[in-house]
Chains A and B, each alone.
Chain A
Amino acid sequence: GAVVSQHPSWVICKSGTSVKIECRSLDFQATTMFWYRQFPKQSLMLMATSNEGSKATYEQGVEKDKFLINHASLTLSTLTVTSAHPEDSSFYICSARDRTAAYNSPLHFGNGTRLTVT
């Protein structure tokens, strides 16, 4: 089945540094990938939609200069948390849809990246 790989699975960084998270579709191509953040009540908040070859679309309230998204190829999107602060500590999750699948077909999720900012 379709697999989405996220890397790293967990990372600890110091306040003020930047962290890059990768999201790869391993056996399919995705023109669109989504980035989410998990909040304490276990709901997933959509942060942005990553579009291959063009700028990402950010949801309201998400700082695009802080959460840099690059979708350089049909199988890779990256999320960079810049100048991280402790309040950025969270689970970050990506998902992708096979570009050949129907618009309402299931998304494939990565396993998430647990970011801890000290």
Chain B
Amino acid sequence: EDKVVQSPLSLVVHEGDTVTLNCSYEVTNFRSLLWYKQEKKAPTFLFMLTSSGIEKKSGRLSSILDKKELFSILNITATQTGDSAVYLCGSTGNQFYFGTGTSLTVIP
């Protein structure tokens, strides 16, 4: 059964902390791994990963994919209260598969 599993389900940290969000996947005909920040109604696209071992970086956020072990991580350094959100991991194969998300709360 194709699936995407995220962990932890929720996380509470203090401003300035670094967090690592995990995403494992089992997807038939895997094409890409996607990270989104869920804000209001429409998720905001963060990264698309297709190749193993190549880190993608955007400001304080970075992500990497391991196609051998079938997982990806999303790192956020020097967290800010504005980073509080649900972070979604999704994978494209024959269909779209989303994880349940990790709810991140950053406390001032």
The residues of A with any CB-CB pair to B shorter than 8 Å are: 1, 9, 34, 36, 38, 41-46, 49, 91, 93, 104-112, 114
List the A residue with the shortest CB-CB distance to B42.
A46
Residues of A within 8 Å of B96, CB to CB, are: 38, 91, 93, 109-112
Which of B14-22, B33-41, B60-68 binds A? B33-41
Determine whether the beta carbon of B95 is less than 8 Å from that of A107. no
A49 vs B42: C-alpha distance when bound (angstroms): 10
Residues of A within 8 Å of B90, CB to CB, are: 109
Known: A1-B100, A9-B95, A111-B97. A42 touches B41 (CB 8 A): no
| Contact flags B82-108 to A (C-beta < 8 A → 1, else 0) | 000010101010111110110100000
Determine whether the beta carbon of B45 is less than 8 Å from that of A43. yes
Residues of A within 8 Å of B100, CB to CB, are: 1, 106, 108
**Which among B41, B48, B103 has the greatest number of chain A C-beta atoms within 10 A?**
B41
Known: A91-B96, A106-B100, A109-B96. A42 touches B38 (CB 8 A): no
Residues of B within 8 Å of A91, CB to CB, are: 96
Determine whether the beta carbon of B101 is less than 8 Å from that of A106. yes
B32 within 8 A of A: yes
Determine whether the beta carbon of B97 is less than 8 Å from that of A106. no
Known: A42-B32, A106-B100, A106-B101. A49 touches B95 (CB 8 A): no
Cross-chain contact of B38 among A41, A107, A111 (Cβ < 8 A): A107
Residues of A within 8 Å of B92, CB to CB, are: 42
List the B residue with the shortest CB-CB distance to A4.
B98
